[in-house]
Every structure is written in structure tokens, then in C-alpha cells.
């Protein structure tokens, strides 16, 4: 957890201004999330685990495979452009579609009020990430011409007759969103299965 804490702490300014996580907690966010979920009542853990038909071991297996892929790409001195594009697809799918549906939506409801876990889960399921997730899931995105971020089209609200609006997300912002998503998931899943029945 210490390595994950250190990686997430690099975004302490965004954690404070965008997520509402104070400086002390932002320096050990993964450890905090793990502790909050380790001590959740069994009923709350079961609610989270039963929100999806896929069991937690399968979820952990997918996260492990995802991390191995990410480590492989980072380890290569110059990844082929096709591999980088595959990484973009894989990373955004796992962080925002897969984990959003499998974990963050139910965690936003079931984690203790005012906890770091709930704040992170709400941030990861609210706009602008919600809009990005929807645009990504529906194929309404592309690279910026200079590859410094992504352009996406989404509705500002939930009315399906509302026209799509164009948005952009800088790579540095996307890096923050992705790291937070992975960090919360890696901290949460091992502690959700412990003690659940």
C-alpha cells in the first residue's frame, strides 16, 4: 500500500480541491480506503459484493492482469504506437467502465458517510468522469490532434434527447482519474472479501 499511497499523494492538490480529501489523508489514501473497507459491517460488504454476478476473485484476477499489462508497457523503452493505443483503450475501459459498474457505483452508496472511500467513489461516478465514461463506452471520443489528451462528446445531463456537447480532457487530468480509480480498486477489493459471508 505504501507505494500506491506515494503515487496517489502526487495528486494531493487535486484530491483536496476536486475530491475533498484533506492533506493528511491524501498522503495515505490507499491505506485509508483499505482500513475503511476492512472494518465495514458484513452487511455492507455483502451489499457491495452482491451488486454484480462476477465474484471478487475474478475481479481481482482481472485487476492483476491489467496491472501486469501496464507494467509491461511502462518497462518497454519505446512502446510501439499500436501498443500505446491498446493501452489507452484498456486503461480507460478498466478504470471507468469496468470498475465504475463493478465497484464505484455501489461503493458510493455503501461506504461510510464522509469517508474517503465514499468521496472517491462519488468523484469517480460523477461528472466530468461520468460524462467521459459514457462517451468512452459509446465510442464518442478521439485523440487530440497533438495527442496531449482526449476529445469526447457527452450529454451534460441525463435527458437522452439532449444534444452531445464537446469536451476535452488533458492527459495529466486523465492520469489523475486513472490512478485514483486503480488505487481505490486495489485498496478495496482485498478487504471487501475479508469477513463477508
- Residue ranges per structural domain of the chain: 2-193
Over 90: is that where the pLDDT of 197 sits?
A: no
Over 60: is that where the pLDDT of 196 sits?
A: no
In the chain, alpha helices (H): 2-9, 12-14, 23-26, 29-38, 42-49, 56-75, 81-92, 99, 105-110, 116-125, 129-137, 171-193
Over 70: is that where the pLDDT of 194 sits?
A: no
Over 60: is that where the pLDDT of 25 sits?
A: yes
pLDDT tens sequence across 161-171: 999 999 999 99
Label residue 50 by pLDDT band (50, 70, 90). confident
pLDDT tens sequence across 91-101: 999 999 999 98
pTM: 0.92
pLDDT on residue 56: 86
Amino acid at each position: 500500500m505504501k507505494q500506491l499511497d506515494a503515487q496517489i499523494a502526487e495528486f494531493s492538490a487535486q484530491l483536496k480541491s476536486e475530491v475533498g480529501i484533506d492533506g493528511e489523508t491524501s498522503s495515505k489514501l490507499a491505506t485509508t480506503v483499505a482500513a475503511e473497507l476492512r472494518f465495514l459491517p458484513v452487511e455492507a460488504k455483502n451489499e457491495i459484493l452482491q451488486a454484480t454476478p462476477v465474484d471478487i476473485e475474478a475481479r481481482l484476477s482481472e485487476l492483476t492482469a491489467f496491472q501486469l499489462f501496464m507494467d509491461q508497457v511502462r518497462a518497454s523503452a519505446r512502446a510501439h504506437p499500436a501498443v500505446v493505443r491498446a493501452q489507452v483503450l484498456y486503461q480507460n475501459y478498466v478504470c471507468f467502465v469496468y470498475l465504475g459498474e463493478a465497484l464505484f457505483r455501489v461503493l458510493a452508496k455503501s461506504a461510510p458517510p464522509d469517508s474517503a472511500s465514499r468521496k472517491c467513489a462519488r468523484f469517480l461516478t460523477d461528472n466530468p468522469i461520468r460524462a467521459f465514461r459514457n462517451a468512452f463506452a459509446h465510442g464518442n471520443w478521439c485523440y487530440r490532434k497533438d495527442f496531449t489528451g482526449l476529445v469526447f462528446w457527452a450529454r451534460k445531463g441525463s435527458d437522452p434527447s439532449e444534444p452531445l456537447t464537446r469536451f476535452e480532457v488533458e492527459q495529466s487530468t486523465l492520469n489523475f482519474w486513472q490512478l485514483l480509480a486503480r488505487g481505490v480498486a486495489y485498496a478495496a477489493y482485498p478487504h471487501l472479501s475479508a469477513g463477508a459471508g
